[in-house]
């Protein structure tokens, strides 16, 4: 384990979408490893350490027979803690700390309620507004509002 890490990491591939509110860009990739406090991934965009991003993280699951089951989808506010330069094929290694998260689905079929996360959005202000609306929707569905 790296000295900088306070929690053990597990090698786990999770589908990951990173939204950069500064540029409005969305990057689709997958995690290399994950812990309860963060994750590492490879992507083609070099993020700046300290930069805050929104992330949609789909954690896979298996049933008792080992068959793929409905996973867990988290909408996270993350901070880039490290960027490394990989090979030409790998792009950049990005390490992110999860600062906050909301469970938006434990069934992939519910992601249709969040179509703005599925495609790139040209208007970052509109996307931020939609994220706020979605967090309110989730809070009301689980009785927090």
Instruction: Kindly report, residue by residue over 101-128, the tens digit of the pLDDT.
Output: 988 866 544 444 444 444 434 454 555 5
Q: Is position 103 within any domain? A: yes
Q: Is position 73 within any domain? A: yes
Cα 98 to chain centroid, rounded:
9
Number of compact structural domains in the chain = 1
Q: Is position 3 within any domain? A: no
Q: Is position 125 within any domain? A: yes
Give the model's confidence band at 145: pLDDT under 50 very low, under 70 low, under 90 confident, else very high.
very low
Share of the chain above pLDDT 70, in %: 66
Q: Is position 1 within any domain? A: no
The parent domain of residue 121 ranges over 10-141
Query: Which pTM does this prediction carry?
Result: 0.66
- Residue 10: which region, alpha, beta or left (left: phi > 0; alpha: psi -120 to 50)? beta
Q: Is position 51 within any domain? A: yes
**Alpha-carbon distances, residue 116 vs 60, 75, 86, 132 (angstroms):** 21, 12, 30, 12
Residue 98: per-residue pLDDT: 95
Residue 2: per-residue pLDDT: 45
CATH number for position 73: 2.40.10.220
Q: Is position 96 within any domain? A: yes
Task: Tell me the average pLDDT across 36-43.
Answer: 92
> Taking the C-alpha atoms of 97, 103, 105 and 106 in order, what is their torsion angle to the nearest 10 degrees?
90
Q: Is position 5 within any domain? A: no
């Amino acid at each position: 384990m790296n000295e900088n890490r306070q929690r053990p990491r597990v090698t786990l591939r999770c589908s990951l979408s990173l939204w950069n509110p500064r540029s409005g860009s969305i990057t689709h990739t997958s995690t290399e490893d994950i812990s309860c406090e963060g994750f590492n991934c490879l992507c083609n965009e070099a993020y700046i350490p300290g930069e805050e991003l929104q992330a949609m993280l789909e954690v896979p699951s298996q049933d008792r027979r080992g068959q793929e089951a409905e996973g867990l989808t988290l909408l996270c506010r993350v901070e880039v803690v490290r960027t490394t330069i990989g090979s030409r094929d790998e792009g950049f290694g990005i390490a992110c700390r999860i600062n906050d998260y909301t469970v938006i689905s434990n069934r992939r079929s519910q992601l249709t309620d969040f179509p703005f996360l599925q495609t790139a959005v040209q208007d970052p202000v509109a996307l931020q507004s939609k994220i706020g609306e979605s967090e309110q929707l989730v809070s009301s569905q689980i009785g927090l509002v």
